[in-house]
Chains A and B, each alone.
Chain A
């Protein structure tokens, strides 16, 4: 671990010029009700990157900040309270103010990950699945079929072909879900078929489907495979003690970290 691994709670990373760093520069967004930015930054740091937490208001004022980064993370949370629908207000902001900058980032080989509320934002802004390359929204994440928020661990099957960047070498994983609006739905059956047949499905729930998602879909990718959105939380399983059964001697590999490490290593050779 570097000296920055010991960042004090609540203290944002100092902004040394990101592009000049030896480690992969990652921008983790914060603000307006995003609330998992610190652990996502910590997880990226463990994965070997050099993350900065940037307030999304600051980024909207200066979208060119993105040029210094190779990965952008949209963490979980309740952006704008999810008051007009989960992720909705922030998705509109992203669409209006950051679309060009994000498209450029992906075009030059950069990576994007949206987790939970971050996934909702990517879906509602149209950045995912981006079937036609023009950010037309065609999938959504709606209220769980049980009508309740739920925090529980789920087992997922990863389809690594969907994303060489984030998912290579991964199979079954365990991660927690923590959401009230995670039910993945497509605008129509044609969209679902396209996702399935074009290999855009990144992961599915195994066993219990915690929210009634269509086809058990827990995460999807864009056509490049570099933009990943998922409801389960990779940043919440980066070491053994976070697993719910570690006291029973369960020693499963921290698969959340594996996803992020994949992304960082992929971005390192850009």
Chain B
């Protein structure tokens, strides 16, 4: 399957860039004209992945976050990666309501939201080397 368009974006791990990243992803995906609800799904999933990189990956210090998007005629692939502290136990981190930062009003629902709003969510990580979140979504409204 060949993508019809592709972007790569690199930005600082500032919380203000959470909105920037999700708006860029939504603008990019809107080229194939999915429904507003499908666009909101992508925005929310990107927001969760970038927020994880800001809070957990870089623990609010500064580093670079990369977002790589490939657009297909009826789907999108989004890869968000950081060079932060990484995740020791990915299975535990993905569990609903699990959070390593309960004191900060974090709900522990980030990965659950990503899984619910996207079709595929894969996480690879190594402590000390960073985290990569791969997401894929087919837009049902565009399937012919």
A binds B: no
Chain A interfacial positions (CB closer than 8 Å to B)? none
Interface residues of B (CB under 8 A from A): none
